[in-house]
Chain A
Amino acid sequence: MRGNHIIGEAAIRAGCRFYFGYPITPQNELPEYMAERFSKLDGGVFIQAESEIAAINMVIGASMAGGRAMTSSSSPGISLKQEGISFLAALELPAVIVNMSRGSPGLGNIAPAQSDYFQATRGGGHGDYRNIVLGPNSGQELANLTFEAFDLADTYRIPVVLLGDGMLGQMMEPVEFPLEVQIRKLPHKDWTLTGAKGRPSRFIRSLLLDPTEEEEHNWKLMRKYERISKDLVRYDTFALDDSKMIVVAFGTAARIAKGAIKRVREQGLKVGLIRPISLWPFPSKTIKEVAKRARYFFVFEMNMGQMVEDVKLALEGSGEVHFYGRPGGIIPTPLELSRVIASQYYQKRLG
């Protein structure tokens, strides 16, 4: 099944009944899938919005009403959604936002890239906030993480960003889906706007004119982010135990890296992989821990160097970091990458 379709099916099985989007390549198969499925599904709402801005605000409306809502786009469209994402964060509303990112900045191209890492993990819009950011690297992970994203969004009342790329969206892989949830059995939300029947009226707002109130709201969000940082760190490792050099890569780049590591291992080079799955919260502790045994880190990203900053922050100077990046929509082959890794390995006199 195609990556973009996998996201759609997993979302529906997670109880998503509200999809709002705007066409942009390379994620069009997702809104198309949602339009088709929702046209036959009771309670399913699909709207092709007039803009990305409208789409994210429709998500806000459906989320206020208590629905599981989603939007998707690719890099330039995600920039347009940032105002709404800042509001989702401030209003503490659950939502799932998919970014099948592409070569940027500006209009860029439609080839796979990872250049929206900063935008996703630092919030992206105005203000002090974070999103949960998940970086899948396979069809199966697209299914699992999309499904789980809706639970995380509801549990923490936070926007969850699924950061993929054009490659993951277009790639076809076999996948096993989680069982469909029963929407009426999902945990009750006691904050939604449904009309003040049998209870006092409610309002949901982000305007806090009194700075002490706004500060308290920010600290409240901060406490939530600390809780998430403690509970939600996800990562995967490969061939870590005897490694002298550790590659850090996420998403599509991590798949290429794994192929490259297999090749250099055949030549006897002791190289391992850490693959952050939760990009925020970032697996900083793990990286710091690993640095006690192996101090050489090789960060590979399909951008000019963004996650590498998080790796350096995690190491706090306790390791040496080399960065290799391919921005603009270029996808190096595992063979190409293996040569760069090997060259770095020998330069550091590790073998």
Chain B
Amino acid sequence: MSDQGLDKDRKRMRKVFSRPKSLKEVPFHYCPGCGHSILHRLIGEVIDEMDLQERIIGVPPAGCAVLAYNYFDIDMGEAAHGRAGALATGLKRALPDRVVFTYQGDGDIAAIGTAETIHAAARGEMFTTIFINNGVYGMTGGQMAPTTILGQHTTTSPGGRTGKRDGYPINLSEMLALAKGSVYIERTALTSPANILKTKKAIAKAFRTQLEELGFSLVEVLSPCPTNWKMSPVEAWKWIDEVMAKSFPVGVIKDTTGEKRDAH
């Protein structure tokens, strides 16, 4: 086919897949098979579809996603390790008509930031938390996280995590569901096209919960870390579904949005 013919074909082609406009034209730095890139894209798609780019503010954590502001084309304010819940509280209280979300890893939210998270949920702060759980401290090289499951090998749980020596993993989302101020908490996994779509739906629902001022919302996303798990991306997906999800079952953990809406 001549070049001219190609050009004609291109003109006839409809663009069916492109970068969300709330993501910058910057390639992700994340490792091959890492879930951050997928999750960033999902959030970007939801922001576009809900037309939130001009009224949303994100709070990235310390951890692998600390550079999220390099990728999101939205306002973002970086938090110290674990402090996103408190920072977002200050932001959202100052700007109640904007949409505020934090993006936090398991170490950030369930170890050093536990207090900030539990109390933000208890107060019913009207922001959304995207909690990405890969069971390790990724950025620092794969140390044991509060969500490392029993038996899982990390650089600081040699031979596998044991309850007696290392303590037990924390199911933070289930704990947060007990808080009176939380209204919507769902755990999803980035392990198949279907599950990725479920994650996107959950994010959209969490943002809607916030827009309706119903209370605190959180989506926990089980996410692969092939580098630190020392697996191939495909093995990592399988491991989440077959092993990790036994400790962290996916599904809706709490949804009182209906009752809250009625009460309003």
Interface hit among B87-95, B202-210, B211-219: B87-95
Q: Is the CB of B90 within 8 A of A51?
A: no
Determine if B239 is an interface residue (Cβ-Cβ < 8 Å): no
The answer to whether A65 and B83 touch across the interface, beta carbons within 8 angstroms, is: no
Decide: A62 near B115, CB < 8 A? Known: A193-B57, A193-B77, A203-B69: no
Q: Given A60-B79, A62-B93, 18 other A-B contacts at CB below 8 A?
A: A18-B90, A54-B86, A54-B89, A54-B115, A55-B86, A57-B86, A58-B87, A60-B83, A61-B90, A61-B92, A62-B94, A64-B91, A65-B94, A194-B57, A195-B74, A195-B75, A201-B53, A202-B75
What residues of chain B lie closer than 8 Å to A84, measured between beta carbons?
80, 83
Contact A203 B94 (CB under 8 A): no
Which residues of B, 39-64, contact A by the 8 Å Cβ criterion? 53-57, 59, 62
Within the assembled complex, what's the spacing in Å between the Cα atoms of A170 and B94? Answer: 31
Is B241 located at the chain interface by the 8 A CB criterion?
A: no
Q: How close is B8's CB to chain A, nearest CB, in angstroms?
A: 36
Residue of B54, B67, B94 contacting most chain A CB atoms (<10 Å): B94
Selected A-B contacts with CB under 8 Å, 23 pairs: A47-B89, A47-B123, A53-B86, A54-B89, A55-B86, A57-B80, A57-B86, A57-B116, A58-B93, A59-B90, A63-B90, A64-B90, A69-B94, A83-B80, A87-B80, A193-B77, A195-B74, A195-B98, A201-B53, A201-B72, A203-B76, A204-B77, A205-B76
A219-272 contacts to B (CB < 8 Å): none
A84 to B81, CA, bound (A): 11
CB distance A198 to B54 under 8 Å?
yes
Neighbouring B residues of A198 by C-beta, 8 Å: 54
CB–CB B94/A66 < 8 A? yes
A349 to B181, CA, bound (A): 71
Tell me the A44-91 residues at the B interface (CB within 8 Å). Answer: 45, 47, 49-51, 53-55, 57-67, 69, 83-84, 87, 91
Chain A CB within 10 A, most for which of B59, B74, B118? B74
The answer to whether A53 touches B78, judged by C-beta atoms less than 8 angstroms apart, is no
B79: chain A residues at CB < 8 Å are: 57, 60
Check if B115 sits within 8 Å of A203, measured CB to CB. no
CB of B179 closer than 8 Å to a CB of A: no
Distance in angstroms between the alpha carbons of A97 and B14 in the assembled complex: 57
Closest to B57 in A: A193
Q: How far is the CB of B100 from chain A (nearest CB, A)?
A: 9
Given A54-B116, A195-B55, A197-B54; A203-B75 close (CB under 8 Å): yes
Q: How far is the CB of A167 from chain B (nearest CB, A)?
A: 31
Give the size of the chain B interface in residues (CB under 8 angstroms): 37
B residues 99-138 in Cβ contact with A at 8 Å: 115-116, 118-119, 123
For residue B199, give the distance in angstroms from its CB to the closest CB of chain A: 24
Least Cβ–Cβ distance between A309 and chain B, in angstroms: 30
**Do B78 and A65 have beta carbons less than 8 Å apart?**
no
Task: Identify A194's interface contact among B69, B78, B90, B98, CB under 8 A.
Answer: B98
> Is A201 within 8 A of B78, CB to CB?
no
Scoring B56, B74, B86 by chain A CB atoms within 10 A of each residue's CB, the highest score goes to: B86
If the complex has contacts A47-B89, A50-B115, A197-B55, are A64 and B73 also in contact, measured as CB distance less than 8 A? no
Q: Nearest Cβ distance between residue A88 and chain B, in whole angstroms?
A: 10
Q: How many residues of A contact B (CB 8 A)?
A: 39
Residues of B within 8 A of A206 (CB): 78
Report the minimal beta-carbon distance from B108 to chain A, rounded to whole angstroms. 13
Q: With the chains together, A45 CA to B96 CA distance in Å?
A: 11
CB of A225 to closest CB in B, whole Å: 22
A51-B115, A197-B54, A207-B78 are known contacts. Are A61 and B66 too (CB-CB below 8 A)?
no
In chain B, positions 18-54 with a C-beta closer than 8 Å to chain A are 53-54
0/1 string, A267-301, CB within 8 A of B gives 1: 00000000000000000000000000000000000
Q: Is A147 an interface position by the 8 A CB rule?
A: no
The answer to whether B86 touches A204 (Cβ under 8 A) is: no
- Are A53 and B83 in contact, with the CB atoms below 8 A? yes
Contact A196 B54 (CB under 8 A): yes
Q: Are B78 and A203 in contact (CB under 8 A)?
A: yes
The reply to whether A207 and B66 contact each other, CB–CB distance below 8 Å, is yes
User: Do A54 and B94 touch (CB < 8 A)?
Assistant: no
Contact B77 A62 (CB under 8 A): no
Residues from chain B with Cβ under 8 Å of A20 in the complex: 90
Residues of B within 8 Å of A59, CB to CB, are 90
